Chains A and B, each alone.
Chain A
Amino acid sequence: MRFMQWLHRWVSLILVVQVVLWLISGFFFALTGHQGMSGHQYMVPQKTFTELRKVAAKVDFEEIKQWFPNAHSVELVSVAGVGQYQVTLPDDVIYIDANTGDYWSTDEALATRLALLSYSGPGSVESVERVTGSNEVNGWTDPGFRINMADDLNTRIYVDMASAQVVEHRNTPWTIADWAFRLHFMDYSGGRSFNHLLIWSAGLLALWFSLSGLILLGRNLINGDFNPGRKKTWLEQFQQQGHPVASSCGGGGTCGLCKVTLKGDNLPEPNDSETALLNRDELNAGVRLSCQHKVSTAYSVELADKAVSDTRLTLVNKRQLTPSIVELTFTSPGNLTYHAGQFMQFRIPHLNEVLIRHYSMATRPDLNKLVFNVRQMTSPQEGVPPGVGSNYLCHLEVGANVDATGPFGDFQLTEQNNNTQVFIGGGAGIAPLRSLIQAEQAKQQPRHSVFFYGARNEDELCYRDEFEAYDGVAYTPVLSETTKADGWSGKTGFIHEAALAWLANENLNAVDVYVCGPPPMLKATLKALTDIGINRSRIRFDDFGI
């Protein structure tokens, strides 16, 4: 089923534009109808009512037969009262004037007369042009005339010169319909063919797409999703009751955001979606996706973010931590409980909209205050505005309010074990790491901790004294824009290289690694950690870029 969802989603992404075109052109066809699209609104059927004996052909069949001994058939017809022989040869048809025996030739006057005979509209002849075929008449490439009629539909009538036959009527509705056919058949040559590679591919995709949808629909039916009296899923229940559960796929079991923890003896088995999106530790601990299970009394359910709430924070202190980082301290009216490493969602008013910015708490859980580190984003060059969110917060006055929601996030300390706790961070990514380190150090038996912190220069090393003062924390600052010549005796270069050099002598099965920092640093560090073989389950990181 997960494959079906994947198929349905990706094929729809490829196909969506063509499906729109099919629907629009199909709707146009349904609105217009056959007659409206034919170009024949003002065309009368070409039937001759003249009796041939009145035409008085001077040349007889016998002569034609002798002139063209290989003819398969010879037909005599009346063209506006004049006899015309149509001689079918093995690979051609030729037209002979039955009076003169010469090749038939249609002049402008006759073409116009024939065009008018085939026309029942209100217009009169506007102009007559000589043409050789027309891109409006598929397959007709011979010399002829285009008779333009002055009427509401902009009718033009094509007459073939050699045969004097009215080839086609065309008009504006026809032109629009022709484009609809191009879109519907995906044949942009104008040939209206629907047997070609492009539409075969689209047809195959459409088949996959709709059949995968049908299979998914069947699963919905079997699951009873259409039963009005059905039991709700936990996700629906939580959303209806206003509990904060994250979900972006809306119950499809594909985003993995609506995690809950089930408690009880008889927990439902994890299904495909859950085995794919949750790791073994989580599954063993009873974590499930709330969209995948119906409300039940067989067990109890605990929300991952049960403490989440909307709150109005008041700024009580502001200080410049380093040249680029400001420390903001807020109080919250209710006591906001959070885990070390979690973050709040700030709602920043900007012009007519509200921007969402995420900031992690920078201290261990504290009922009385919330501390954040904000890097003030300066404008990268003249003319480009500085960071909206960070500037708004940095310019708040003490006493000012800002709305926030939270706490969120699973960037938290591991369960108790004997592993060395390795923290790797850069820039303002220090906030959740500091919170985690403080929380660890506040435990009765703190685990040994190692902290690699990267900054540009010495001035940017925030909370340096605090980290150096811990007995249980090996603090290693690494500067990227400072050299020995500046009087710096510590490490320089990239933070992940320093961390890696240290990890080289460690038992990689006995470390828990926490990473937070700017996107390039995070990416490089995660890659380096994976490369040296640290199990993914031992690495926790906070995506700093958003």
Chain B
Amino acid sequence: MAQKKRSSRWRVWHRWLSLIFGVQMVVWALSGAYMVFFDLDYIHGDHLVQDISQPLPEHTHIASLDELFATYPETRSVSLETRWLDNTLQTVYKLETAKGSLLVNAESLRLIELNEQHIKALANRYYAPEQANIESVVYMTDNPPTEISEKLLPVWQVNYDDFGNTSLYLSETTGDLLVKRHNFWRGFDIAWMLHIMDYEERVDIETWWLKGFIIGTFILMVTGIVLLVYAISFKRTPAGGSQ
């Protein structure tokens, strides 16, 4: 009968362990299911934006490299592209310098400074859904929301009044779309936080309590397996008879 006595010990252990680790297992299963069931492209918000690049206009007289370097000698890389500004498709040079990026008119080499109207118009071009209702535009230089990296500052935040409360983040200097966020991304971020158990920065996957919970869950699972073995091997009818 000794073996049979043990079975109730295992059950008591299974209960107590599940009180602590089983609850986290539910959290893992829920957050894992969220991350698994929503397509990653959807989470990234790929459906919310479109490519707005255009072929370079043919008959523009663009400044030569020599002229460019004479005005902006610290340029480390330069990109010739187009930008919609004031309802006109302009040819621009986008420069990377030691001090950051710059946007200049490719013909006059004049520096382009983007204002709120420019940003709104650009954001609406990036925004893919048909109804583009901007709720608010925020220029942020510090204290970014948790959904973006501090490295992106300063940045324009354009918020839409739509199904997922979309926010597009555009570069202050170049008007490029940097990141896009919507409620399902924010949900994913919470699921990720719960999954890795870093409730502050949501990046640290090496915390001691995460490791502890994994080990605890492992023990919980071992007790469950033992109970499972008992359950499968039991016989309702006590064995009897003679051989």
Interface residues of A (CB under 8 A from B): 9, 12-13, 16, 19-20, 23, 26-27, 29-34, 48-53, 57, 60-62, 65, 69-78, 88, 90, 193-195, 199-200, 203-204, 206-207, 209-211, 213-214, 217, 220, 225-226, 235-236, 239, 244, 246-252, 254-257, 277, 291, 341-343, 357-360, 362, 372-375, 377, 387, 389-390, 405, 408-411, 428-429, 431-432, 516-517, 541-546
Task: Let me know if B236 and A256 touch, CB within 8 A.
Answer: yes
Q: Are A390 and B243 in contact (CB under 8 A)?
A: yes
In the bound complex, CA of A244 to CA of B8 (Å): 14
| B15 CB–A CB distance under 8 Å | yes
Tell me if A543 and B237 are in contact (CB < 8 A): yes
A86 to B82, CA, bound (A): 15
Q: Give Cα A504–Cα B15 distance, bound, in whole angstroms.
A: 53
B residues 59-97 in Cβ contact with A at 8 Å: 62, 64-65, 69, 73-82
Q: Which residues of B contact A73 (CB under 8 A)?
A: 53, 56, 79-82
The docked-state distance in angstroms from the alpha carbon of A226 to that of B13 is 11
How many of chain B's residues touch chain A, expressed as a range?
35 or more
- The distance in angstroms between the C-alpha atoms of A34 and B225, with both chains bound, is 32
**Which residues of A lie under 8 Å from residue B29 when comparing CB positions?**
203, 206-207, 209-211
B179-201 residues at the A interface, CB under 8 angstroms: none
CA distance A357 to B81 in the complex (A): 87
Contact bitstring B22-59, A, C-beta under 8 A = 1, else 0:
11011011101101111110000000000001111010
* Cβ–Cβ contact A203 & B37, under 8 A: yes
Question: Assuming A194-B35, A220-B15, A250-B227, is B7 touching A409 (CB within 8 A)?
Answer: no
Are B74 and A51 in contact (CB-based, < 8 A)?
Answer: yes
Distance of A26 Cα from B82 Cα, bound (Å): 46
Assuming the contacts A69-B58, A546-B235, asked whether A207 and B242 have C-beta atoms less than 8 A apart, the reply is no
- What DSSP secondary structure best describes chain B's contact surface? helix
Determine whether the beta carbon of A27 is less than 8 Å from that of B240.
no
B43 to A, closest residue via Cβ: A195
Contact A248 B234 (CB under 8 A): yes
Contact between B9 and A70, CB atoms less than 8 A apart: no
Q: What are 7 A-B residue pairs whose CB atoms fall within 8 Å in the complex? A: A62-B64, A77-B77, A195-B38, A277-B236, A432-B242, A541-B237, A543-B240
A206 touches B33 (CB 8 A): yes
Considering the chains assembled together, what is the distance between the CA atoms of A428 and B242 in angstroms? 6
Contacts A213-B22, A225-B15, A359-B243 known; A61 to B10 CB distance under 8 Å? Answer: no
B residues whose Cβ falls under 8 Å from a Cβ of A: 1, 4-12, 15-16, 18-19, 22-23, 25-26, 28-30, 32-33, 35-40, 53-56, 58, 62, 64-65, 69, 73-82, 203, 205-207, 210-211, 214-215, 217-218, 221, 224-225, 227-228, 230-243
Docked Cα-Cα span, A543 to B218, in Å, equals 37
Q: Give min CB distance, A284 to chain B, whole Å.
A: 20
Which chain A residue has the least Cβ–Cβ distance from B241?
Answer: A544
Kindly state the separation between the CA atoms of A69 and B54 in the bound complex, as whole angstroms.
Answer: 11
Q: Whole-angstrom distance between the alpha carbons of A52 and B70 in the complex?
A: 11
Q: Which residues of B contact A411 (CB under 8 A)?
A: 240-241
Asked if B240 contacts A65 (CB within 8 A), the reply is no
Cα(A499)–Cα(B231), bound, Å = 36
A210 and B56 CA atoms in complex are apart in Å by 56
- Please measure, in the bound complex, the distance between the C-alpha atom of A252 and the C-alpha atom of B223, giving whole angstroms: 14
Alpha-carbon distance between A73 and B9 when the two chains are bound, in angstroms:
70
- The distance from the CB of A70 to the nearest CB of chain B, in whole angstroms, is 5
Contact A213 B18, beta carbon cutoff 8 Å:
yes
6 closest A-B pairs (Cβ-Cβ)? Answer: A250-B7, A248-B234, A546-B239, A250-B8, A544-B241, A73-B81
For B232, what are the chain A residues with a Cβ–Cβ distance below 8 Å? 13
Given the complex, which residues of A lie within 8 Å of B80, measured CB to CB?
61, 65, 73-75
Q: Is B242 within 8 A of A57, CB to CB?
A: no
Q: Give every chain A residue within 8 A of B214 (Cβ-Cβ).
A: 23, 26-27, 30
Verify A217–B78 contact, CB threshold 8 A.
no
In the bound complex, CA of A93 to CA of B240 (Å): 79
Closest CB-CB distance, B1 to chain A, in whole Å? 5
B55 to chain A, nearest CB (A): 5
Q: Are A213 and B26 in contact (CB under 8 A)?
A: yes
**Inter-chain contact B22/A375, CB cutoff 8 Å:** no
Instruction: Name A16's contact: one of B12, B228, B230 (CB within 8 Å).
Output: B228
